[in-house]
Structure 1
Amino acid sequence: MYRFTKAAVNVTSQAVRQVRHASSVRQDFHSKYGNMLLAGGALFCTSVWSYVLTQTGLTWNLSPVGKVMPKEWRE
């Protein structure tokens, strides 16, 4: 049982060290590239939606008021 406990503590301490290292790497990545990625994503999203809205020829049918005409009643 002692060996199992010692191995579990060792694995736990290694996991803590890895998490601390990963969090410092993540902070460095975000401080270097965070604003650039945000701006690039916003530019990409804006360009795709502007293409969809202007070039694809979709009919959006926002409101049917005034567009739907009733048919004449036939007896």
Structure 2
Amino acid sequence: MFPLVKNALSRLQVRSIQQTMARQSHQKRTPDFHDKYGNAILAGGATFCITMWTYVSTID
């Protein structure tokens, strides 16, 4: 009886995974905060860091 139960459970798991993937593929993904502003924040932070290091290293 154990192989029968094991087989039934594995089929249920495969079916639920397939249903989840089908559901997710039909949904439109809207851009979140990181998609919209991620590169700008990264560039701003890098610019600030370089500017501050340049300023601090050139102080007499």
- Gaps spanning 5+ residues in structure 1: where? 59-75
- Gaps spanning 5+ residues in structure 2: where? none
- Which runs of at least 4 in structure 1 moved beyond 2 Å after TM superposition? 12-16, 18-21
* CA distance in structure 1 between the aligned counterparts of 2:22 and 2:55, rounded to whole angstroms: 47
More helix by share: 2
**Matched residues, number:** 53
Q: Using CA pairs below 8 Å that are at least 6 residues apart, which structure has the higher relative contact order?
A: 1
| Matched residue, 1:9 | 11
Measured on the aligned residues, the alpha-carbon RMSD in Å equals 3.1
TM-superposition CA deviations, 1:17-72 (whole Å, max 9, x none): 16853xx58x32xx2331212211221122112212222x28xxxxxxxxxxxxxx
Name the larger-Rg structure. 1
Identity rate of aligned residues, in percent? 8
Query: One-letter code of the match for 1:32?
Result: D
Q: TM-score, normalised by structure 2?
A: 0.54
The 1:5/1:40 distance shift into structure 2, 3 A limit, reads same
